[in-house]
A and B are shown apart, each in its own frame.
Chain A
Amino acid sequence: MRSEKSNRAPVGLKIAAAGGLAFMHVPILLIFLYAFTTEEKSYQFPPPGLTTQWFGVAWDRPDVWAALTLSVKVASIATATALVLGTLCAAAVSQTRFFGRETISLLVILPIALPGIITGIALRSAFSMADIPFSFWTIVLGHATFCIVVVYNNAVARFRRISGSLIEASMDLGADGFQTFRHVILPNIGTALLAGGMLAFALSFDEVIVTTFTAGQQSTLPIWMLEELIRPRQRPVTNVVAMIVVVVTFLPILGAYYLTRDGDQIAGAGK
């Protein structure tokens, strides 16, 4: 909604706003630009020449594929786990009253409020104390801690809007618990779950801090990129992969935004 009276901003403010936006987005454009550079050891500006050869090089590098597959697998399993557990938790907190309900609600949200490094250290020491070797599954566990929060936050907001009498009405009309979930609850929370799931996937896909603490020898995609930047060998490959990551994480967030913009805000989008 625009105010009719003062829709003309002073020039200084306009420049400041443009500068702020440029500061945020020009570096991303540079990443895209250097994906096409002919110089592989350093990033000089302007690039000496443009080429698309790095897409082919990236395609042929097995370590890119290993990291990408691992990230997709971790994100998928962490998201699936979060969808089940987050929904169950949201249902319990929003549909029933019990002792300690508010506390549980807070404890579930806490992992996203805590700095990732705390979560990482805590999980790492817990894994070593319990003699759990670092593996694919420890990464999944670490990611699930914050993925659950995202799903939970989206689901709980939607659950609160389902009046309790809808569920009672369904039971009254002859539907058992499963039918009520299938025909009444799921259609009403579906978009919230989809949005929460997409966000959870995006969060897990580019997570670095918790992963550094919970991964063994494997590298997820963001960790692989971090390692690549240190070595000056075929650097533009990193940029090519970065472009792919931007696309892979941006699309679900955009989707989540359009799915929920009529309803609740997407809680936890800021992590």
Chain B
Amino acid sequence: MTTAVLFDNVSRYFGAVRAVDRVNLDIVEGEFFAMLGPSGSGKTTCLRLMAGFEQPTGGHIEIFGETAEGVPPYRRSVNTVFQDYALFPHLSILDNVAYGLMVKGIGREERRKAAEDALAMVKLPGYGARRPGQLSGGQRQRVALARALVNKPKVLLLDEPLGALDLKLREQMQEELKTLQKSLGITFVFVTHDQGEALSMADRIAVFNEGRIQQLGRPEEVYNQPKTRFVADFVGSSNVLSTKLCQTLGLKAPFASLRPEAIAIAPASNGALSLAGTIAGQSFLGATNRVVVDVEGARIAVASPAAHAVPSIGSPVTISFAARDLHPMEDA
């Protein structure tokens, strides 16, 4: 396995602000890698460090084994799909897509053909003569994708590319991006603040908070076994059990995470753990009911199948869960 992008203890400070703080990354060739985090968490700065728009304050970056520090964006075999697409308003769609080939000095006929192929690949054949202003948001996003891919980059960077699209279009583009990535075999690095997007598309996810990577792993790992309270909270609202509850359950770790769907409102059966509490609230979510149970003052969310009747608010209940669903966490 070849390393596509390597971050060795990389930092980027803006004055006193540590936008990226000692980050280590190892993105494998052909991987669909997501950088997930809230705004200001450093994920976009990491992407810009890869693209060459920012230079690291400290640490070392390699792209396919070559040192990247000091190399300007136009000498990197990396292309970016920008959040606002950044299509050139004065050029036709075809000239936009062919731009990278044009500045490399490739002949008119050859680059026209390559650009048309790229447009066909993103399902916009025959749109070459139009202007960016005449396209919808979804179409512009496809043009931005074609414009980057026509250069055959070794790594494609995507900066929240689906953020401006409506839900339906976003789901469709998620599918298409994933299919495209698998068929091209190009390494995709994808920045998003949408945990659902990261979980459904990525091979691996790095969860960012305050300039640092909180957890790096496959989507199932990040979702089921959050390492820190931040990850548990940010990636799909796990319950975080306090130190006190951990002690009640006989756990040594200071905190533990427990997914709402791993809990049943039922007495414990063979070897399961249980806690006693009272029903504090409920809301109907379609396939499930979200039930909040008050356990010794802590509120624990339970995803209960909609078919199961929920006891009325205030009634005492026992909640139970398997010991393997309880994941010990570090502090922070």
The answer on a CB contact under 8 Å between A168 and B99 is no
Residues of B within 8 A of A187 (CB): 90-91
Q: Give the number of A-B contacts (CB < 8 Å).
A: 63
Contact with B along A162-182 (1 / 0, CB 8 A): 010110111111111001000
User: Are A174 and B86 within 8 A (Cβ)?
Assistant: no
- Asked whether, in the complex, the Cβ of B84 is within 8 Å of the Cβ of A171, the reply is no
Say if the beta carbon of B72 comes within 8 Å of chain A: yes
- Docked Cα-Cα span, A163 to B88, in Å, equals 10
Q: Would you call B90 and A176 a contact (CB within 8 A)?
A: no
- A170 to B147 CA separation, bound complex (whole angstroms): 11
Closest Cβ–Cβ distance, residue B163 to chain A (whole Å): 14
Determine whether the beta carbon of A165 is less than 8 Å from that of B147.
Answer: no
Write out the residue numbers on chain B whose beta carbons fall within 8 Å of the beta carbon of A172: 51-53, 73-74, 78-80, 148
Q: Does B82 contact A (CB under 8 A)?
A: yes
- Asked whether A173 and B100 contact (CB < 8 A) given A168-B53, A188-B89, the answer is yes
Cα–Cα, bound, A173→B86 (Å) = 12
A179, B103: Cα distance in complex, Å: 7
- Chain A residues near B86 (CB-CB < 8 A): 163, 165-166, 168-169
Q: Is the CB of A173 within 8 A of B53?
A: no
Bound-state Cα–Cα, A187 to B99, Å: 14
Chain B's closest residue to A182 (CB) is B103
Cross-chain contact of A188 among B82, B90, B151 (Cβ < 8 A) = B90
Pick from B78, B88, B104: contact of A169, CB under 8 Å? B88
Number of interface residues of B (CB under 8 A): 26
Q: Smallest CB–CB gap between B244 and chain A, Å?
A: 49
Contact residues in A for B51 (Cβ distance below 8 Å): 168, 172
Task: Look across to chain A and name the residue whose beta carbon is closest to the beta carbon of B51.
Answer: A172
Contacts of A170 in B (CB 8 A): 88, 99, 103
Cα A187 to Cα B131 in complex, Å, equals: 15
Interface string of B32-57 (1 = CB under 8 A from A): 00000000000000000001110000
B74 touches A171 (CB 8 A): yes
Known: A169-B87, A173-B151. 15 other contacts (CB 8 A): A165-B86, A168-B53, A168-B82, A170-B103, A171-B72, A171-B74, A172-B52, A172-B148, A173-B74, A173-B100, A174-B103, A174-B151, A176-B72, A179-B103, A188-B90
Q: Which of A166, A171, A172, A175 has the most CB of B within 10 A?
A: A172
A170 to B53, CA, bound (A): 12
Q: Quick one: closest B residue to A162, CB to CB?
A: B89
| A contact patch SS | helix
**Is the CB–CB distance between B89 and A174 below 8 Å?**
no
Contacts of B99 in A (CB 8 A): 170, 173, 175, 183
Contact with A along B53-73 (1 / 0, CB 8 A): 100000000000000000011
Query: Which residues of chain A have C-beta atoms less than 8 A from B79's C-beta?
Result: 172-173
Give chain B's interface residues, CB within 8 Å of chain A. Answer: 51-53, 72-74, 78-80, 82-84, 86-91, 99-100, 102-104, 147-148, 151
- Cβ–Cβ < 8 Å partners of B73 in chain A: 168, 171-172
| Contacting pair A165 B89 (CB below 8 A) | no
A53 to B91, CA, bound (A): 53
Q: Please, how many angstroms separate the alpha-carbon atoms of A179 and B89 in the complex? A: 17
A209 within 8 A of B: no
Nearest CB in chain B: distance from A173 CB, A: 4
In the bound complex, CA of A37 to CA of B149 (Å):
73
Asked whether, in the complex, the Cβ of B74 is within 8 Å of the Cβ of A183, the reply is no
Contacts of B104 in A (CB 8 A): 174
The distance in angstroms between the C-alpha atoms of A183 and B73, with both chains bound, is 17
A141 lies within 8 A of chain B by Cβ = no
Which residues of A are found within 8 Å of B52, using beta-carbon distances?
171-172
Q: How many angstroms between the C-alpha atoms of A183 and B86 in the bound complex? A: 14
A164 to chain B, nearest CB (A): 9
Cβ of B232 to closest chain A Cβ, rounded Å = 34
Is the CB of A184 closer than 8 A to any CB of chain B?
Answer: yes
Chain A, residue nearest B75 (CB)? A174
Are B82 and A183 interface neighbours, CB within 8 A? no
CB distance from B91 to the nearest CB of A (A): 8
Q: Which of B78, B87, B90, B147 has the most CB of A within 10 A?
A: B90
Question: Chain B residues with Cβ under 8 A from A176's Cβ?
Answer: 72, 74
Query: By the criterion CB–CB under 8 Å, are B90 and A169 in contact?
Result: no
CB distance from B144 to the nearest CB of A (A): 8
Q: How far is the CB of B95 from chain A (nearest CB, A)?
A: 9
Question: CA of A176 to CA of B147 in the docked complex: distance in angstroms?
Answer: 17
How far in angstroms is the closest Cβ of chain B from A186?
10
User: What residues of chain B lie closer than 8 Å to A163, measured between beta carbons?
Assistant: 84, 86
Residue of chain A at shortest CB distance from B100? A173
How far apart are A230's CB and chain B's nearest CB, in angstroms? 52
A174 with B100: CB separation less than 8 A: yes
Chain A contacts of B103 at CB under 8 A? 170, 173-175, 179, 183
Asked, given contacts A169-B88, A183-B103, A187-B90, whether A175 binds B82 with beta carbons under 8 Å apart, the answer is no
Pairs A–B under 8 Å by Cβ, sample size 27: A165-B82, A166-B86, A166-B88, A168-B53, A168-B82, A169-B80, A170-B88, A170-B99, A171-B52, A171-B74, A172-B53, A172-B73, A172-B74, A172-B79, A172-B80, A172-B148, A173-B147, A173-B148, A174-B103, A174-B104, A176-B74, A179-B103, A183-B99, A183-B102, A184-B88, A187-B90, A188-B89
Query: In the assembled complex, which residues on chain A have CB atoms less than 8 Å from the CB atom of B74?
Result: 171-176
In whole angstroms, how far apart are the Cα atoms of A174 and B51 in the complex? 11
Q: Chain A residues with Cβ under 8 A from B148's Cβ?
A: 172-173
CB-nearest residue of chain A relative to B97? A173
Nearest CB of B to A236, in Å? 49
Q: How far is the CA of A165 from the CA of B84 in the complex (A)?
A: 8
